[in-house]
Structure 1
Amino acid sequence: MPIRRHIQDENSPRQGSHVKSATTTILSSNTGLTKSSNLSTVHRSNGYQNAHRKPKLKHKGEGSSALIVPNLSLPEEAGTLFSWYTQNWSDVKRNEFLHKFMLKLDPRQHYFVSSFLAARQHKDFISLLPKDISLKILHYLSVQDLLRCCMVCKTWNALANNNDLWKYKCETVKMEVPVSDQPEWKKLYKDNKYLRVNWNSAKCKITDFKGHSDSVICVIFDHLHLASGSLDKTIRVWNLKTGKCQHVLKGHVKGVWCLNFFTHNLLVSGSYDGTIRVWNLRTGKCNKTIIAHDGPIWALARHNEVLVTVSQDKTAKVWDINRCLHLNSLLGHTAAIFAVDMSEDGHLVITGSADKSVKIWNIETGRCLRWISVSQTTSIMSVSYSQGHLACSYGETICVYKVEGPTRLIKKYLDIVNEHQKRIECLKLGILDKEKGEGIIVSAGKDGAVKYWDIQKDKSIQTFVGHRGREVNAIYFDELRIASAAHDNKIRIWDFNV
């Protein structure tokens, strides 16, 4: 194969000066050696330290140069060859030698040479590029790769921990943990990641709220307050963080069976006495009282200013709670209505009755859109609607339906071993992914157990027992915690954001 003489010609005027300048070698004074014209002697006496480094030229004065010979351990012939290569040969001769030399190498040596050259050609472009461009590149990496980048070097660590970069990562997932005013996005991403792990492993902080003198029948909370209603005819409002009771609301003449926050400072309650009351949480006083039903009010649901209440009198009534105005009555159940819920947009009302059926209503027209015969034996005690899915309970059984389009039963949990052994009093459904049908259910009943379910699995994931075997009357949950109210006169909070 012909050699391409692309570097310089042998007769180039640069050739003579190159050879002349390389004929003298100066050794470091630390070695105790002097100048020598015989490079092979130097190689024998000192050896080479690094076979892969090129000799360094050290300039001393104008127009003069000297070669610092590396300290390598090579045979005398090899040292002589190295001297010829570095001192005497032109670039053309070096190329011819390397060409013939490379043809003699075996695959293992080829691999060594290629690996060495690849390492010499490596550039840390992330550190060399402007910060904005480096961050733009890193934001395409997965979270796992970003965490690996943190271990490369200090520069990569600083870039991979950039707060704006982790803010982008948080925007790509559903954030369930609360975001502060000055968030540390990497920590928030981590907390959000481990939140669902804590739910599945039952890792939580437990807080008990005590103060009622009789069974607690209902419970609800927002990000500031928790409210509970009891058979002692009172409503207690608690600070959710400290657990201290802030208000004791008195006015109902019988037990309080349902609650809902209207605003952060207004609370709506429904009672066994058939009335609805609106309470001011700043003053602790009742602002409005509505005589709503001819029997006990068992449950209520709210969307914006629209409130729906259900009663022993077999009716569900729709109210404009802001004006305390009765808008409509939903008639059709043939027995007491024990449960109610509303769709996310407020257009649908779902009711469960002692007539063993669930009905879905158009809230504006009052017309029943769908009737589902759920049970053949006993009353529907609880209903919960989420993103086109409906969960309801009767006896020790939970049923999950998909009600967008044709009604279809997609899951049924029976009274199997290690599940609810007594009647389920309440449940809440939360759909996480509507298209994939992923979601969770929290249920509680007379057996004193609070259970956490994945609707795609056949058994409950976790069971929480915290009321000494007393029946649990009500539950409420969000992304962070579960609140349960029971016959032992207390409320227990299970907080998974730990």
Structure 2
Amino acid sequence: MEKTAFEGWLESVSATFLTLNDQQRNQSLDHLISLSGAVQLRHLSNGLETLLKRDFLRLLPLELAFYLLRWLDPQTLLTCCLVCKQWNKVINSCTEVWQGVCRELGWRIDESIQDASHWKGVYLKAKLRMMQLKDQEAFETSSLIGHSARVYALYYKDGLLCTGSDDLSAKLWDVRTGQCIYGIQTHTCATVKFDEQKLVTGSFDNTIACWEWSTGAKIQQFRGHTGAVFSVDYNDELDVLVSGSADFTVKVWALSAGACLNTLTGHTEWVTKVILQKSEVESMVHSPGDYILLSADKYEIKVWPLGREINCKCLKTLSVSEDRSISLQPRLQFDGRYIVCSSDLGVYQWDFASFKVLRVIKMQDPANLSLLSFGEVFALLFDNHFLYVMDLRTEVISGRWPLPAYRKSKRGSSFLAGVTSWLNGLDGGNDSGLVFATSMPDHSIHLVLWKENG
């Protein structure tokens, strides 16, 4: 058939084909296929493959493609990045998608950062760290050696660890290098807290002292307790120091003058923890910015509105059992919004605005499992054998790390958590530095640190 005649015939057949219904069209195609040979069938197969495939991500407007990508789970997103360069480019340019992925993991999102590759990197590094936690590959260990007697007091801040010992000394260590920066002669230390200039120590000799790091001189001494001082906290803005003691009292001191301003009574057990912190929430009895003092013994946590007046009255008493059948562990945490403490039943979290229990995390063996630190996404716990990371969204242990036979302490002061910002969500940069420290029977300090370049 000549070309002109063929084109005319094809146009006529096409016009007739368009007038048919779907069933008639299908029958026509079936008949034509039955008449076709191998060459025609091969041509048909190749053509159909091209016609049926549609790169919807390339064809869609970018805004609509971003909308569809939000419905994919993270693993599918990563798989789609491997399809082709165009898909990878589109997916890697969608900031909202990767912010959403990180938000679903519980991370805090800084909306000012609009770089999609940043959030994808945060996600990938966080997932890698989670895999390392599961496989016991996230941490490494080291030791600090220098004390000649039991190390009882530990305090960590900004990469520096302070240790107080029965050898009548306190030392300040650079955790990263393991070097001792300062070593000063003190009394026996049951608790320590420091800043750039000074060190405050509470002692088994019933006194509190303030020391100058650079000279080792005693700046101030606080006398008045009739039992060992187990916990201290201070605030330079208020010029106030607070202390908890085995004499069942909490004392409020003038930090610079050393004079006792008030003795708070009401505890019937050793006061093992005091915390001085600003409130970040408002209620009927306190406002944001008010200074709050928390004190804890074996059974109760007491709340004192210290910032309003020195002669304050107890605002609230919290406990986990009215009959004192359940004791609290000496791990109290307060960030201005929530109070967290572990007990023989599990971990309790109170809302500071209402003083209501928000959640109770019950564990299989709470009598032996202790709380170290509590965040928005993770909690750090430990027992006699392991350090545990719990995902607070599922209350499932995400990973663990073996611990040596550390020195046991019922009061709990001979171990602590290091950097805690990662407990609010791994952000790609806060998985570094000290994780856990504890004193050992040989008077050394055992450190657990994040493994670099995770």
TM-score (norm 1): 0.61
Contact 2:190 2:203 in 1 (8 A): yes
Structure 1 residues 369, 397: CA separation in 2 closer, same or farther (over 3 Å shift)? same
Q: How does 1:16-31 map to 2 (within 5 A)?
A: 22-23=3-4
Q: 2: distance between equivalents of 1:238 and 1:127?
A: 60
Q: Aligned-pair distance for 1:382?
A: 0.6
Q: In the alignment, which of 8, 15, 18 is matched to residue 95 of structure 1?
A: 15
Partner residue of 2:248? 314
Which whole-Å deviations, capped at 9, do the CAs of 1:431-468 have from their partners, x for residues lacking one?
Answer: 427xxxxx635255xx5765555679899776654333
Q: In the alignment, which of 414, 429, 442 is matched to residue 381 of structure 2?
A: 442
2:358 equivalent to 1:358? no
Which whole-Å deviations, capped at 9, do the CAs of 1:117-165 have from their partners, x for residues lacking one?
Answer: 99378466648978xx699668746534432331121233234334966
Letter in 1 for 2:448: W
2:36 equivalent to 1:105? no
Letter in 2 for 1:363: L
Contact 1:200 1:461 in 2 (8 A): yes
Q: How does 1:28-47 map to 2 (within 5 A)?
A: none
Structure 1 residues 120, 210: CA separation in 2 closer, same or farther (over 3 Å shift)? closer
Identity of matched residues, %: 18
Structure 1 residues 121, 454: CA separation in 2 closer, same or farther (over 3 Å shift)? closer
Letter in 2 for 1:94: S
Larger radius of gyration: 1
Contact 1:352 1:381 in 2 (8 A): no
Contact 1:442 1:450 in 2 (8 A): yes
Q: How does 1:63-462 map to 2 (within 5 A)?
A: 85=6, 87-89=7-9, 91-97=11-17, 99-100=19-20, 103-106=24-27, 116=48, 119=51, 122=54, 126=58, 140=70, 142=72, 143-162=74-93, 168-169=99-100, 172=103, 174-175=106-107, 184-196=118-130, 198-199=132-133, 202-211=136-145, 212-248=147-183, 250-254=184-188, 256-262=189-195, 267-273=199-205, 274-280=207-213, 283=214, 285-286=216-217, 288-291=219-222, 293-294=224-225, 295-301=227-233, 305=237, 307-318=241-252, 321=255, 328-342=262-276, 345=279, 347-353=291-297, 356-364=299-307, 365=309, 366-372=312-318, 374=321, 376=324, 382-386=330-334, 387-393=337-343, 398=346, 400=348, 402=350, 404=352, 405=354, 407-408=356-357, 411=360, 416=365, 420=367, 427-432=371-376, 440=379, 442-443=381-382, 447=384, 450=387
Which whole-Å deviations, capped at 9, do the CAs of 1:385-427 have from their partners, x for residues lacking one?
Answer: 344343144xx665525355365595486895xx655xx8x74
Partner residue of 1:58? none
Q: Aligned-pair distance for 1:291?
A: 1.7
Structure 1 residues 230, 338: CA separation in 2 closer, same or farther (over 3 Å shift)? same
Flag the structure with more relative contact order, 1 or 2, with Cα contacts below 8 A and sequence separation at least 6: 2
Q: 1: distance between equivalents of 2:260 and 2:56?
A: 71
Tell me the matched-pair count: 392
Contact 2:151 2:163 in 1 (8 A): yes
Structure 1 residues 302, 291: CA separation in 2 closer, same or farther (over 3 Å shift)? closer
SS in structure 1 opposite 2:167? coil
Q: Aligned-pair distance for 1:101?
A: 9.3
Structure 1 residues 106, 339: CA separation in 2 closer, same or farther (over 3 Å shift)? farther
Letter in 2 for 1:493: L
Q: Aligned-pair distance for 1:298?
A: 0.7
Structure 1 residues 278, 414: CA separation in 2 closer, same or farther (over 3 Å shift)? same
Q: 2: distance between equivalents of 1:470 and 1:88?
A: 97
2:405 equivalent to 1:471? no
2:442 equivalent to 1:486? no
Structure 1 residues 336, 186: CA separation in 2 closer, same or farther (over 3 Å shift)? same
Letter in 2 for 1:148: T
Unaligned runs of 5+ in 1: 1-18, 24-83, 434-438
Contact 1:219 1:483 in 2 (8 A): no
Q: 2: distance between equivalents of 1:381 and 1:457?
A: 23
Structure 1 residues 308, 137: CA separation in 2 closer, same or farther (over 3 Å shift)? same
Structure 1 residues 348, 161: CA separation in 2 closer, same or farther (over 3 Å shift)? same
Q: 2: distance between equivalents of 1:483 and 1:267?
A: 21
329-338 or 318-327, larger mean C-alpha shift: 318-327
Q: 1: distance between equivalents of 2:303 and 2:186?
A: 30
Q: How does 1:3-22 map to 2 (within 5 A)?
A: 22=3
